[in-house]
């Protein structure tokens, strides 16, 4: 009888862990989509709600923004995304950290610069907080030409 109870408890525990991981993956996917839309709109309130104050945001050219610079560039349209398309997204949950990788294709029209096409592979690191998943780090790399 004890063995059956332990087996049942173990199965319930494994099921709950699996369900939580799937829920976390969906919640991170939702946060990633909110971030994509906020980067296009430049909505300062939404951008600030999705990031941690410790954010480090790496560009493919080597410049690294802090949280304040990241938000200000997008809200002021100094960095202006006309559209952002994301493909090949993968999400891996490791404890209270989510690693998101995807391919980003976008059109930009930054202040003072000619329109440009952006074709990048991106790594995002999200951290689970009491108020939800928040972006801690992002690094872009130029796509290798084959």
Query: What digits encode the pLDDT tens for the residues 95-129?
Result: 999 999 999 999 999 988 899 999 999 999 999 99
d(CA 102, CA 132) in angstroms, rounded, equals: 21
User: Nearest 5°: CA angle at 142, between 98 and 102?
Assistant: 30
The pLDDT of residue 15: 47
More confident residue, 138 or 16: 138
d(CA 96, CA 131) in angstroms, rounded, equals: 13
Query: What digits encode the pLDDT tens for the residues 22-68?
Result: 699 999 999 999 999 999 999 999 999 999 999 999 999 999 999 99
Strands 51-58 and 132-142: parallel
d(CA 24, CA 29) in angstroms, rounded, equals: 8
More confident residue, 10 or 140: 140
pLDDT at 13 over 70: no
Residues 136, 125 contacting (CB under 8 angstroms): yes
CATH number of the domain located at residue range(s) 2-142 in this protein: 3.10.450.50
Start-to-end Cα distance in the chain: 62
Annotated domain spans of the chain: 2-142
The pLDDT of residue 111: 85
- Average model confidence (pLDDT) for the chain? 90
**Which burial class, exposed, middle or buried, applies to 120 when counting CB atoms under 10 A from its CB (0-12, 13-18, 19+)?**
middle
pLDDT at 19 over 50: no
For residue 42, what is the DSSP state? T
């Amino acid at each position: 009888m004890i063995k059956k109870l332990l087996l049942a408890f173990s199965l319930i525990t494994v099921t709950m862990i699996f369900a939580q991981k799937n829920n976390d993956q969906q919640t991170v996917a939702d946060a990633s989509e909110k971030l994509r839309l906020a980067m296009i709109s430049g909505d300062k309130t939404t951008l600030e709600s999705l990031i941690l104050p410790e954010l480090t945001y790496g560009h493919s050219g080597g410049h690294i923004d802090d949280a304040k610079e990241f938000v200000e560039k997008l809200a002021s349209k100094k960095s202006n995304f006309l559209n952002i398309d994301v493909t090949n997204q993968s999400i891996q949950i490791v404890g209270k950290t989510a690693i998101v990788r995807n391919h980003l294709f976008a059109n930009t029209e930054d202040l003072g610069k000619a329109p440009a096409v952006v074709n990048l592979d991106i790594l995002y690191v999200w951290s689970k907080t009491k108020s939800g998943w928040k972006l801690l780090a992002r690094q872009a790399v130029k796509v290798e030409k084959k």
